Structure 1
Amino acid sequence: MAEHASTFKPSLSLVDATMVVAGSMIGSGIFIVSSDITRNVGSAGWMIAVWLITGFMTITAAVSYGELSGMFPKAGGQYVYLKEAFNPLAGFLYGWSFFAVIQTATIAAVAVAFSRYTAYLIPELGETNILLTIGKLKISAAQVLAIALIVFLTYTNTKGIKGGKIIQTTFTTVKLLSLFGLIILGFLLVKHSFWSENWQTGMNATHLQQDDKGNFIKDGQWLPIGGTALIGAIAAAMVGSIFSSDSWNNVTFIAGEIKNPKRNIGLSLFLGTLIVTVIYVTANLMYLNVLPLSHIAYPEGERVAVAAATSIFGEIGAYVIAVMIMISTFGCNNGLILAGARVYYTMAKDGLFFKKTGTLNKNAVPEFALWIQAAMAGILCLSGSYGDLLDMIAFVAVLFYAITIIGIFILRKKRPDAERPYKAFGYPVLPIIYIILALVFSVFLIQMKPLYAGIGLGIVLTGVPLYYIAVRNKKA
């Protein structure tokens, strides 16, 4: 067998592609972030509204991307779309941000979540078990486990797309069935329903009292909010729901390995995002049934799903959720790792990333790209908390989604006769609504959480000089 393959092998079916979409989206977020959402908006109606707005944005963006995936059915996805709609600099800024924070920080955050819930079963693997101290840097057993998970899944994916496909389809199927089961049992088995009590809050938005640093006070008062303050609260709340719904676009990065990509990518985007949106909304309705709103806002150890499962199953419920989240985050990270490396591969083919990244190994996968992605994600595991990573990822990712959808309008003008197996659903109204919502979210997130949104924007802008350095080296 040759040392290097020359092209990707199209071996993923529509079902496989849909499992990549759904599996990459469902990680740890749905089990955790509803607490922060509740603290920000303080009512059952607005809690569900946040998830519905996010679901609408996600599905709208996904079906809009269907048009782009049909036009450019090749590896690289969003990087390619931005390059074709705008210019190579726009594509590079996305690819650089993808490597520096969007994909690698998501991999790190999901791996850390895997560690947190493993520690629920094996306390020695928790964040409180400090293994090494280097100056101000403290390395815990949880961080080491997170890095070990990334290394293991990266190694598995260097052995070819088939192994990654099996892991993805198996783990995604298990977590979809588990989540549906948990939701149904939450309505059938719970001893005391808080449904009527929680819905008395209706759409009366409130948020918990905050201290001078902007942190919520656990036993503080619930204060009414409205007007622009409500928009800001919704934007802050949506950080968690958007993180939980992100990575749906990962399937576009592996277009070169999907059978009939012009048809199957767009269809998998729609099916995957629809399935996940239904799960997320119904899971939150289940939370409202089994827990009082105050316990959703402040569950034991920030684990709203654990509190819900304990209410349903008793003490064993905590272990049920811990295992579910381990399965969910394991499968989610596999999808993220599998797909992400294809972006760096395509950038390298354009002469805009490390040359070695643009080669395939004998198993027809970009092995070097996989390993540098793992290294970057490992570094991010050692820095920043879960929440900090969420703020950076949400801001940068949504900003690029909006810019990419603007690219649909540009390409309609630039290439009116190009083949479009799919056309953006609801064009131009729904794409415009998405762009407006995304930009409003981004502006208010900068106001609400300026530090980490600012860091995210700074990372994007550092790509400008790096692009010109890459172009100069390419010419040389």
Structure 2
Amino acid sequence: MVSYDNQTMEADPQTSRQMGVWAATAVVTGEAISLGIFLTPAGMARSLGSPALLAAVWCGMALITLAGALCFTELAIRNPHDGGEYLYLRRGFGPRAAFLYGWMAAIVMYPGVAAALCVGTVPYVQALFPVPAAVAKALPALILLILGALNYFGTRLSSGVMTALNWLKVPVLAALVGWAFLSGHATMANIGPLSARRPGSDPLIDAIAGATISAFFCFGGWWEAGKIAGEVRNPSRNLAVAFSGGVLIVTAIYLLLSFAFVAVVPMQQIRSNTAFVALFGQALFGAAGARVLSMCVVLCVLGGLMVLSMAVPRVTYALAREETGTTSTGPLAALSRLHPRFGSPANAVLLQTGMALLVLMLGAFDRILAFIIFSAVVFLALTAATLFRTITPVRRWWYPLAPIVFITGSGVLAVMLLMHNPVSALLGAGVVLCGLPVRWLLTRRNEVPRSVATDSISP
């Protein structure tokens, strides 16, 4: 077992804490409120066929997410350094398990997510501006390069842009909901009867399973705040507010927007996610609907991409710093240093941007995401489970209920994903396990790795 005593922690002399509670909360909400907020609720509503079921799935997933947020808050407070899940897993289950997570996150999963979001943004940008075909083709790469540059030149610049984008989402989406009801376009008759399922709905068990998976990934990304904990001022207070407050904000927005969608466009008229967005925009804003909704989508996606481009290089930096050890030499050494002027993990930013561009060039992001989702869910459950491996007891009102709820919910989701597509899930797990020989090749010359904190292992 591993000690999480704050007193044993060794501060990183190279980092300075520049992010306050607003920026930390923006990280929690940023990735969760992204492209999925306009596409997923429509598919869930069509499949479930009942407003009451739709609300129940959102609230159930919010409960699981809030349980996870409490767990990650405790872990981040005990480990107020950059790295997030990588650090928690290293202390709870050792360096091999942690490396597998870092390998999956930095090299496989997050570059695929970034590339997919950039490609998904292009049609909405084209709806706003007359973009020539050649420029549209290069636009995803240009977005990745701009995001990489913002993060390369320091935390203050990147966190300022990220915070502005992600907090701007909240009033914009709230205004969208308000306009739907105040303008008279929303009809309460479309919502009622609340519990009756509409004709054409999917079989109940399949619908609930599919909607639960969709809701989980809509909420996905709230855990990213732990990755930038080393940048947050007063982490014991600000991270607690960011995790819990951010999850509650995301829950409120998803519930309100889902009901606004259904109140404006009856469930019976929902045929596809993209067609639904067009119907919703046209109903609220007429001919300008496509442009207004496209603006909202671009704002939400850019905010989510800023969170990714800030958080993930911190995982790579923490991994390299731990695995390099006291020698500060070897293949990972360049990734374990901060920029002398900007204080950013500049080389890790370059690696992350380069990997996303490579995935984009290969056009492999859809396959990567299909393969890796199962493993990502398993790692989330393992991360929460590290709370049971601490020598210093967790003394919170929610312990041990919160980790049990989150681990159980994540476990059920992992089983659903495995049953739905076992080949992809197992292939993805195989890709993750390939990180073990990679770790051996990268670290075989190093001595005993040092830790951000001196781990105390019980016999």
Match of 1:175 among 169, 172, 176: 169
User: CA, structure 1 residues 143+51, in 2 after alignment: closer, same or farther (shift >3 Å)?
Assistant: farther
CA contact (8 A) 2:48 2:202 kept: no
Match of 2:25 in 1: 18
Q: How does 1:285-300 map to 2 (within 5 A)?
A: 285-299=259-273
Task: Please identify, of 447-456 and 183-192, the stretch whose mean Cα deviation from structure 2 is larger.
Answer: 447-456
SS at match of 2:387: helix
SS at match of 1:364: coil
SS at match of 2:440: helix
Match of 2:305 among 308, 329, 333: 333
Match of 1:433 in 2: 405
CA contact (8 A) 2:42 2:261 kept: no
CA contact (8 A) 2:67 2:405 kept: no
CA contact (8 A) 2:190 2:264 kept: no
Counterparts of 2:201 and 2:207, CA distance in 1: 12
Deviations 1:29-70 (A, max 9, x none): 101122332344333333333322222222211111111111
Match of 1:415 in 2: 392
Match of 1:379 in 2: 358
Cα offset, 1:424, TM superposition: 5.3
Match of 2:245 in 1: 271
User: CA, structure 1 residues 286+329, in 2 after alignment: closer, same or farther (shift >3 Å)?
Assistant: same
CA contact (8 A) 2:106 2:352 kept: yes
Counterparts of 1:142 and 1:294, CA distance in 2: 34
Match of 1:448 in 2: 420
- 1:184 to 2:156 alignment: no
CA contact (8 A) 2:28 2:242 kept: yes
CA contact (8 A) 1:10 1:259 kept: yes
Match of 2:120 among 90, 113, 129: 113
Counterparts of 2:137 and 2:378, CA distance in 1: 29
Counterparts of 1:424 and 1:474, CA distance in 2: 39
Deviations 1:291-338 (A, max 9, x none): 111333425xx2534422221121212101111111221122112101
- What TM-score do the two structures reach when normalised by structure 1? 0.83
SS at match of 1:12: coil
Q: How does 1:65-104 map to 2 (within 5 A)?
A: 65-104=72-111
SS at match of 1:363: coil
Match of 1:200 in 2: 193
Match of 2:211 in 1: 237
SS at match of 2:323: coil
User: CA, structure 1 residues 307+190, in 2 after alignment: closer, same or farther (shift >3 Å)?
Assistant: farther
Instruction: State the Cα RMSD in Å.
Output: 2.6
Task: Please identify, of 180-189 and 257-266, the stretch whose mean Cα deviation from structure 2 is larger.
Answer: 257-266
Matched letter for residue 459 of structure 1: V
Match of 2:379 in 1: 400
Counterparts of 1:450 and 1:42, CA distance in 2: 28
Counterparts of 1:456 and 1:171, CA distance in 2: 33
Counterparts of 2:268 and 2:184, CA distance in 1: 18
Deviations 1:236-278 (A, max 9, x none): 3334322221111221111121111222222211111111111
Match of 1:212 in 2: none
Matched letter for residue 363 of structure 1: F
Match of 2:228 among 214, 230, 254: 254
Counterparts of 2:433 and 2:271, CA distance in 1: 36
Unaligned runs of 5+ in 2: 1-11, 325-330, 449-459
Cα offset, 1:116, TM superposition: 2.5
Counterparts of 1:409 and 1:465, CA distance in 2: 29
Match of 2:335 in 1: 357
Match of 2:200 among 222, 226, 250: 222
Counterparts of 1:386 and 1:469, CA distance in 2: 26
Cα offset, 1:199, TM superposition: 3.6
User: CA, structure 1 residues 298+123, in 2 after alignment: closer, same or farther (shift >3 Å)?
Assistant: farther
Matched letter for residue 139 of structure 2: L
Counterparts of 1:400 and 1:120, CA distance in 2: 38
Matched letter for residue 316 of structure 1: A
- What TM-score do the two structures reach when normalised by structure 2? 0.86
- 1:153 to 2:147 alignment: yes
Cα offset, 1:142, TM superposition: 4.6
Counterparts of 2:427 and 2:137, CA distance in 1: 22
Task: Please identify, of 76-85 and 13-22, the stretch whose mean Cα deviation from structure 2 is larger.
Answer: 13-22
User: CA, structure 1 residues 119+279, in 2 after alignment: closer, same or farther (shift >3 Å)?
Assistant: same
User: CA, structure 1 residues 51+276, in 2 after alignment: closer, same or farther (shift >3 Å)?
Assistant: same
User: CA, structure 1 residues 379+200, in 2 after alignment: closer, same or farther (shift >3 Å)?
Assistant: farther
CA contact (8 A) 1:106 1:393 kept: no
Unaligned runs of 5+ in 1: 132-140, 207-220
Match of 1:367 among 324, 329, 346: 346
Match of 1:56 among 36, 60, 63: 63
User: CA, structure 1 residues 433+192, in 2 after alignment: closer, same or farther (shift >3 Å)?
Assistant: closer
Cα offset, 1:455, TM superposition: 3.8
User: CA, structure 1 residues 393+321, in 2 after alignment: closer, same or farther (shift >3 Å)?
Assistant: farther
Match of 1:162 in 2: 156
Q: Percent of pairs identical after alignment?
A: 28
User: CA, structure 1 residues 37+380, in 2 after alignment: closer, same or farther (shift >3 Å)?
Assistant: farther
Counterparts of 2:364 and 2:292, CA distance in 1: 25
Counterparts of 1:31 and 1:342, CA distance in 2: 29
Cα offset, 1:425, TM superposition: 5.4
Task: Please identify, of 49-58 and 265-274, the stretch whose mean Cα deviation from structure 2 is larger.
Answer: 49-58
Number of residue equivalences: 430
Cα offset, 1:364, TM superposition: 0.3
Deviations 1:170-224 (A, max 9, x none): 111211110010011111214362x4344437264x8xxxxxxxxxxxxxx8366
Cα offset, 1:401, TM superposition: 1.3
Match of 1:216 in 2: none
Cα offset, 1:354, TM superposition: 2.4
